[in-house]
Structure 1
Amino acid sequence: MRSAVIVFPGSNCDRDLAVAIEAVTGARPAMLWHRETELPAGTDFVAIPGGFSYGDYLRSGAMAARSPVMRAVADAAARGVPVLGVCNGFQVLTEAGLLPGALMRNAGLSFICRTVPLTVENSQTLFTQGYAAGETIRVPIAHHDGNYQADAETLDRLEDEGRVAFRYAEPVNGSARNIAGIVNDAGNVLGLMPHPERAIDPVHGGTDGRRLFEGLLETVA
C-alpha cells in the first residue's frame, strides 16, 4: 500500500502515524509537506495527523484546510482514495468541507489526555471492518477542541446513513450524541478524534487501534 502522511507547520503526530502505518503495512509512507500541490503517483491512502497545524490560528484546522496540498487530498478523496484525519486531521477535514460539522472547544474548556472507551458503531466501512459492530475498544485521546457539533438535521442524517463510525462509550468532551468519528457519504473519508496510531503496540498499553490500519490494508491491497 502506497501511503502519504500530510505534514503542516505545527503537526506533532505525523511521525506517530508514519510509524503505525509502516508497522502494519511494511512500507514507509511519503511525508508530504503542506506546500506540495500533488500526491505521489499511485497513492493508495492519505493520513492527516494530529497536532496544532498553523498554531490553531483562526480556528483549529482552518488555515491547514486552505493549504495547497489539501486540494490534492480533496481530489484524491473524490476519486475514492481512503483519507484518514486524526484529531487535528479531523478538524482539517471539517474545515475543508470533506466532512460535515465542526470541532468546538471541549465542554469543560480543558485539554483532555487519557485513554477512553469507544463503541464501534459501524463495522462495514473501509476503516472499521477489522472490528465487530457494538464492540468496545480503548484508544487514547489528546485534544482541546474535540467537541463534535452539527445541526440536528445533519446529526440525524449521519445516524440514519450509518456514518457514525465510532462513539464515545461515556461522556468525554461534550460531543453531540457522543460522536467520536464519522465517515463521508462515500465511506472513504474518516475523521476521528481519538488516536488509533497510539494504540498499535502492547508496550504503549494496548493494540485496539491496530485493526483500523490492518482492515484498511486488507481492502486497499
Structure 2
Amino acid sequence: MTAPVRVLVCDDQALIRTGFATIIDAQPDLEVVGECGDGRAAVELAREVDPDIVVMDVRMPVLDGIEATRLLAGAGVARPVKVLVVTTFNLDEYVYEALRAGASGFLLKDAPPAQLLQGIRTVASGAALLAPEVTRQLVGRYASRIRPTEQTPDDQALTPRELEVLRLIADGLSNSEIAATLVISQETVKTYVSRILTKLDLRDRVQAVVYAYRRGLVT
C-alpha cells in the first residue's frame, strides 16, 4: 500500500485550522502530521515532522505565509517542501509573492472540502494547482507590480513555438485551450510544456507564469 500523503496545516485561525485538519485526516490517503498558527512555527515544525505538503495561510503573526513559503520551498532550499497556499483571494494582496516564493499553487478558503482535498493530492503529486481563470485574475491584478528583466540566454534557448506556448501559459490558458489556439493536440502541448520547464529549469506552470512576466515576455 502507498503511504499516506503527510500534511502540515498552518493557519492562525484555530477554527479554520481544526476544520482543515479534520477534513484531511478523514481521508485514507492523507495524514495530518502537524498543526500550527504562524509561519515561524510552520518552518520549525516542518523540520521535525517532514511533511510532503504544507497547507499555508498568508496573513499570520510572527512570520507570514510568504516568508514561511520562501524558507520551505524557495530557491536554494536543500529539501524543499511543497506548499499549497489557501487564502481569501479578494483580500490578500500578496498571493503573487507567495507563488514567486515557491508555492505550488493556491485555493480559496471558501472552496468546498472536495476541492481542498483534490488540491492537496494534485500538489503532492508534483503538479501545480493554478486554475486558468485564477491565473488570469492573478496576473491581471499584479502584472503592474512585476518588474520585467532583460532576456537571458535561457529565453533564447526556446524555439519560437515554445515561446508562443509559454506566452499562452502566462495568459492563463489550459492545455486544451492552447491546443485549440495553435491547432495542435493536447499531447503535443504537454510535450512543449515539459520542454519549456526543462530548458528554463522551472518546477511547474506556476513558475512558468511568473517567469514569463518577470522576463517581459508578456504584458
Instruction: Tell me if TM exceeds 0.5.
Output: no
Return the structure number with greater helix share: 2
Give TM-score scaled by structure 1 length.
0.38
Larger Cα-atom Rg: 2
Return the structure number with greater strand share: 1
Give TM-score scaled by structure 2 length.
0.38
